[in-house]
């Protein structure tokens, strides 16, 4: 890498419930260490607290000691705004932030109040400052931070029945407040940073290709308001890539590394067991029993890391790092025919989503198709 070029690797959802988290991350860690900065999305709280806050299917807190594996794998910053970060309440958020701070892993998107949740993570790389903002777009609203309440940062959306936003509600539009939040936070971040990235937890889970009607306008609005790239996650399956005014939007990075028993039908927790069964009816697939720690849509085993190269003049080029998820759920860097398969898959889902077709080269470089 030259001194003038900054490389960033972007990783989707991270759930590290199982023992030996370093083993599960080791298949993608080489790509993280090679970059100047690795950014992931931490999906669940890391805490010993066993409290469960109602409103969504609760995820269990992951072991606090598992956070160290993130640092060892090369992560320097994580986004936190998502639909599960508040599942263990105030203590879960506080424990997670304390654990990240102890490891010098920067974070954005959750805090003990709304101001802290909306505050960007600031990281200096090769004398340039990079800001990361993180927002939850899918609810549940009980997990949204407020001036006197811990939670995550959010971009409010409208629902068909006016009920609170949850991962199950039908989202019909974007609230004007969402644009106002983006405008204020991006402008404030640019007061200190050279580059601003916006992470959005958005979209429909376990469903190939589909982008909800709000996703493109919201991501494009972030670019229009000054963001240099948008990083999407939540769907647990890869989504298409587009460029807006030349700036990259990864609509969904899919799973970065998700290894957990909490999604399996075979468990004692009634709400999680009921969701695992209902998921089959809602999304029309039976998880492969070989993927016991990652029972997702069969297409989700084709995964990717996003990669950005930032030049001295702050122009950005985008690429992907193809990833294959091995049973029972370990992601590994793909090579040869597997890498080509993943690249063609990303091209296909981009076009099928109605985005401008892209071409992914042998090196992973993403460009608009001729």
Q: Which CATH number is 360's domain given? A: 3.60.21.10
> In the structure encoding, which two tokens stand for residue 279, read together?
């998921």
Instruction: Answer yes or no: is pLDDT of 318 > 60.
Output: yes
- pLDDT above 90 covers what percent of the chain? 81
Instruction: Say yes or no to pLDDT of 333 above 90.
Output: yes
* Res. 343: pLDDT tops 80: yes
Query: 3-class DSSP state for residue 276?
Result: helix
What mean pLDDT value characterizes the chain?
93
Tens digits of residue pLDDT in 115-152: 999 999 999 999 999 999 999 999 888 899 999 999 99
CA distance 135 to 198: 8
Instruction: Give residue 60's pLDDT.
Output: 81
Q: How many structural domains is the chain composed of?
A: 1
- In this predicted structure, what is the pLDDT of residue 239? 98
Distance in Å from the first CA to the final CA of the chain: 29
98 pLDDT band (50/70/90 cuts)? very high
| pLDDT at 1 exceeding the cut of 60 | no
pLDDT at position 135 is: 98
pLDDT-based confidence at 303, cuts 50/70/90?
very high
- Is the residue at 352 inside a domain? yes
Residue 227 lies in a domain: yes
* Predicted pLDDT at 55: 57
**For residue 20, is pLDDT > 70?**
yes
pLDDT tens string 55-91: 566 678 899 999 999 999 999 999 999 999 999 999 9
Average pLDDT (347-353) is: 98
Closest among 5, 14, 153, 134 to 71, alpha carbons compared? 14
Note if the pTM is more than 0.85. yes
The count of other CB atoms within 10 Å of the CB of residue 245 is 7
In which domain, by residue range, is 307 found?
Answer: 6-368
**In a domain? residue 126:** yes
The mean per-residue pLDDT over the stretch 150-179 comes to 89
Task: State residue 40's pLDDT score.
Answer: 98
The confidence score (pLDDT) of residue 283 equals 76
Residue 166: what pLDDT? 78
229-258 per-position pLDDT tens digit:
999 999 999 999 999 999 999 999 999 999
Whether 291 maps to a domain, the answer reads yes
Q: Do residues 333 and 350 make contact, with C-beta atoms less than 8 angstroms apart?
A: no
Please check whether residue 1 lies inside any domain of the structure.
no
pLDDT of residue 370: 76
Pairwise CA distance, residues 26 & 157, whole Å: 37
For the segment 156-172, the average pLDDT, to the nearest whole number, is 84
Task: Give the model's confidence band at 54: pLDDT under 50 very low, under 70 low, under 90 confident, else very high.
Answer: low
Is 195 inside any structural domain? yes
Does residue 239 form part of some domain? yes
User: Which pLDDT score is estimated for 51?
Assistant: 77
d(CA 123, CA 35): 14
Q: Which long-range contacts (CB under 8 A, 24 or more apart) does 24-27 make?
A: 24/69, 24/257, 24/259, 24/329, 24/330, 24/331, 25/69, 25/70, 25/72, 25/73, 25/257, 26/73, 27/323, 27/326, 27/330, 27/331, 27/332, 27/333
Per-residue pLDDT reduced to its tens digit, 257-297: 999 877 666 666 666 667 666 776 677 788 888 998 998 99
**Cα separation of 185 and 2, whole Å?**
31
pLDDT at 53: 74
């Amino acid at each position: 890498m030259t001194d003038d070029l900054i490389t960033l690797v972007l990783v989707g959802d991270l759930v590290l419930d199982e023992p030996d988290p370093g083993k599960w991350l080791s298949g993608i860690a080489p790509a993280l260490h090679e970059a100047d900065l690795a950014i992931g999305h931490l999906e669940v709280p890391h805490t010993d607290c066993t409290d469960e806050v109602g409103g969504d299917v609760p995820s269990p807190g992951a072991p606090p000691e598992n956070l160290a594996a993130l640092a060892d794998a090369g992560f320097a910053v994580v986004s936190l705004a998502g639909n599960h970060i508040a599942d263990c309440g105030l203590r879960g958020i506080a424990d997670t932030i304390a654990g990240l701070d102890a490891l010098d892993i920067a974070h954005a998107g959750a805090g003990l109040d709304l101001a802290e949740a909306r505050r960007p993570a600031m990281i200096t790389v090769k004398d340039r400052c990079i800001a990361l903002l993180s927002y939850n777009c899918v609810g549940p609203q009980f997990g949204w931070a407020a001036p006197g309440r811990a939670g995550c940062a959010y971009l409010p959306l409208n629902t068909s029945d006016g009920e609170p936003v949850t991962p199950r509600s039908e989202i019909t539009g974007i609230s004007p407040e969402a644009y106002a939040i983006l405008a204020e936070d991006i402008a404030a971040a640019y007061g200190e940073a050279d580059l601003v990235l916006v992470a959005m937890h958005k979209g429909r889970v376990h469903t190939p290709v589909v982008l909800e009607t709000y996703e493109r306008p919201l991501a494009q609005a972030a670019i229009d308001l000054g963001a240099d790239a948008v990083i999407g996650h939540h769907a647990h399956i890869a989504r298409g890539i587009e460029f807006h005014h030349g700036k990259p939007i990864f609509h969904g990075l899919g799973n970065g590394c998700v290894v957990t028993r909490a999604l399996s039908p075979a468990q004692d927790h009634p709400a999680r067991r009921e969701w695992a069964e209902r998921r089959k009816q809602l999304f029309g697939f039976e998880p492969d029993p070989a993927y016991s720690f990652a029972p997702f849509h069969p297409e989700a085993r084709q995964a990717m890391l996003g990669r950005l190269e930032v030049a001295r003049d702050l122009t950005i080029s985008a690429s992907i790092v193809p990833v294959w998820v091995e049973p029972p759920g370990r992601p590994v860097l793909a090579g040869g025919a597997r890498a080509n398969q993943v690249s063609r898959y990303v091209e296909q889902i981009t076009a099928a989503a109605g985005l401008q077709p892209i071409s992914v080269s042998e090196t992973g470089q993403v460009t608009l198709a001729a």
